[in-house]
Structure 1
Amino acid sequence: MEIDLRQAIVNRVQGKNEDELSEIIEGSIHTEDMALPGLGVLFEMIWQNSTEAARKKMISVLRKQLPPTQA
């Protein structure tokens, strides 16, 4: 049986409570780049199930965290 990356990530977090999910996310930040695809899949799930207002807020937060462009 072949399982794709998205499904493997969903399987890893499925059934976890909020504290466990938080630990998984926190544990994936500032680690090896291998964790980044997993965070991307989780962000995709959040994005797809967010309201337009929540999406705008996420974009605003992201934009504020980006370094300014150098001219």
Structure 2
Amino acid sequence: MDINIRSAIYANIKNNNEEQLEATIADSIDGREVLLPGLGVLFELIWKNASDQEKQEMVDVLAKGVQAQA
């Protein structure tokens, strides 16, 4: 079976409001591992729509988070 994860994620969130999107992110982070691939799709959307400055800020936050986990 060939499943297009991006298409499935887009279909599941296309009518979500900001509160619902935030809940999806929180659920994915707080334990529902089955949702983790969806975070990658959501991050892809964020990245593609971010300015260069916003991208750099995300990388900075990520680097700090990685260092904190080490």
TM-score norm. by structure 2 comes to 0.85
Q: How many residues align?
A: 68
Deviation at 1:32, TM superposition (A): 4.2
Q: Unaligned regions of 5+ residues in structure 2, if any?
A: none
Q: In structure 1, what is the Cα distance between the partners aligned to 2:26 and 2:3? A: 25
> Counterparts of 2:50 and 2:43 in 1: how far apart (Å)?
10
Over the matched positions of the two proteins, sequence identity in percent amounts to 38
Flag as ranges the 4+ runs of structure 1 deviating above 4 A. Answer: none
Of Structure 1 and Structure 2, which has the larger fraction of its residues in helix?
2
Task: Tell me which structure has the larger Cα radius of gyration.
Answer: 1
**Structure 1 regions of 5+ residues with no counterpart?**
none
What is the CA RMSD across the aligned residues, in angstroms?
Answer: 1.8
